[in-house]
Amino acid sequence: MPVSAATSRPDLAELDREELERALADLGVPRFHGSQIYRWIHHRGVTDPAAMSDLSVELRQHLAASVEISTPTLEIKQTSTDGTTKFLFRLADGLHIESVYIPDTPAETFCVSTQVGCAMKCAFCLTGKMGLVRNLTAGEIVGQVRRLATETHLLDKPFNIVLMGMGEPLHNYDAVMKALRMIADDRGLAVAPRRVTLSTVGLIPALKRLATEPLMPNLAISLHATTEAQRDDLVPINQKHRLVELLEVCRTFPVKRRGRITFEYVLLNGVNDTPDDARRLVKLMHGIKAKVNLLPFNEAAGLPFTRPAEDRVNAFAQILADRGVTVSVRKSRGRDIRAACGQLIVESAKRSPAQKLAEKI
């Protein structure tokens, strides 16, 4: 059972409802309080036992003395001119992560991190420059959503979640899947899996495992290139998890009726945004229930690419549309506060050489 490193007490924020009931039983608390406490934490966003007003005073005191209920601490909240809000959270061990609230796109959307940093090192992504610092726990992933929902007054309202913040979700598989289960629980945030989109570079064994999960989020694949050689350069994990194999897995992936896999494609000026690239992309999508989401590159110091002009983006999209591929262009939200795709990077006290380099350029 996850216990707090500081106090060695069980950390209730890390537990799904069944685990929570068992933990309470171990403390001599009747199991039925499990659902009640789960509701306080995950539905009402209350992590202080003293404030759980429908529990007896004795039980509240017992909990205060014998458990932890950890929650990310909000340090900075920055709102963009377009309403997008970026949150900097501090975790129990002092590390930081960023999450983003994107209002009405058309749904309310939370963009959530799954790791501190990322090991994938995609050539155009700022988070990749941090390297991987550590995985987030399930409780930290759920905690972000809970804190975001509390801060934006959406605890009781519908919202979508995209696992498109810092980190590669399939590189932290077990914690991510547990978090999705905890978030889906109807005593908690009750966010149905169809409201969640998991975005991945395409780690093949993990994708195959995902295909067998009972609780299935929507799938987005960060494709970004149409040849093995170019994807090797832009998304280096392609050297191990090949494009051809990735597309094969996508072809047989169990998408729901009328569902589709989203293919994200960052457009880098003069690199992967030519008409030939667009035509190759059309071919790759053949036989896959796909839609393509084009992401015009968000520029950042330290990244050696530029954003293509709008007419170039439109021309690329038109080639896809003309050949029957569903395509959309992602509007960059929150670029003025560096909250847009690939712009999440947390400067720690101990900066890695890559981070220092990214800051200098």
Token pair belonging to 254? 């169990």
Residue 40 interacting with ligand SAH (CB under 6 A) = no
Residue 292 interacting with ligand SAH (CB under 6 A) = no
Residue 284 interacting with ligand SAH (CB under 6 A) = no
Residue nearest to ligand SAH (CB): 342
Q: Which stretch binds ligand SAH (CB under 6 A): 93-101, 121-129, 208-216, 352-360?
A: 121-129
Give the strand pairing for 109-111 and 160-163. parallel
Give the count of alpha carbons within 13 A of 15, CB side only: 25
Q: Which of 15, 37, 138, 164 binds ligand SAH (CB under 6 A)?
A: 164
3-class state of residue 99 by DSSP: strand
Residue 342 interacting with ligand SAH (CB under 6 A) = yes
Q: Could you say which DSSP state residue 29 is in?
A: -
CB 165 within 8 A of CB 143: no
Q: What is the 3-state secondary structure (H, E, C) of 54-98?
A: CCCHHHHHHHHHHCECCCCEEEEEEECCCCCEEEEEECCCCCEEE
Residue 295 interacting with ligand SAH (CB under 6 A) = yes
Measured CA to CA, the distance from residue 112 to residue 98 in angstroms comes to: 8
**Residue appearing with tokens 């989203």:** 262
Closer Cβ to ligand SAH, 61 or 306, answer by number? 306
Q: Which of 298, 308, 317, 327 binds ligand SAH (CB under 6 A)?
A: 298
Measured CA to CA, the distance from residue 78 to residue 142 in angstroms comes to: 21
Measured CA to CA, the distance from residue 150 to residue 156 in angstroms comes to: 9
Which amino acid appears at position 248 of this protein? Answer: E
- Between the alpha carbon of residue 184 and those of residues 179, 190, 253, 254, the distances in Å are 9, 4, 22, 20
Residue 297 interacting with ligand SAH (CB under 6 A) = yes
Residue 125 interacting with ligand SAH (CB under 6 A) = yes
**Residue appearing with tokens 């506060």:** 337
- Min. distance of Cβ 97 from ligand SAH in angstroms? 13
CB 122 within 8 A of CB 157: no
Closer Cβ to ligand SAH, 120 or 288, answer by number? 120
Q: Which of 89, 124, 263, 316 binds ligand SAH (CB under 6 A)?
A: 124
CB 122 within 8 A of CB 136: no
Point out the residues that are catalytic: 98, 341
Q: Which stretch binds ligand SAH (CB under 6 A): 102-110, 116-124, 130-138, 211-219?
A: 116-124
- Min. distance of Cβ 342 from ligand SAH in angstroms? 2
Q: Which of 201, 219, 284, 285 binds ligand SAH (CB under 6 A)?
A: 201
Q: Which of 84, 197, 199, 262 binds ligand SAH (CB under 6 A)?
A: 199
Which x/- pattern over 129-158 shows residues binding ligand SAH (rule: CB under 6 A)?
A: ------------------------------
Which x/- pattern over 235-274 shows residues binding ligand SAH (rule: CB under 6 A)?
A: -----------------------------x-x--------
Q: Could you say which DSSP state residue 234 is in?
A: H
The contact set with ligand SAH (CB under 6 A) reads 120, 122, 124-125, 164, 168, 199-201, 222, 264, 266, 295, 297-298, 341-342
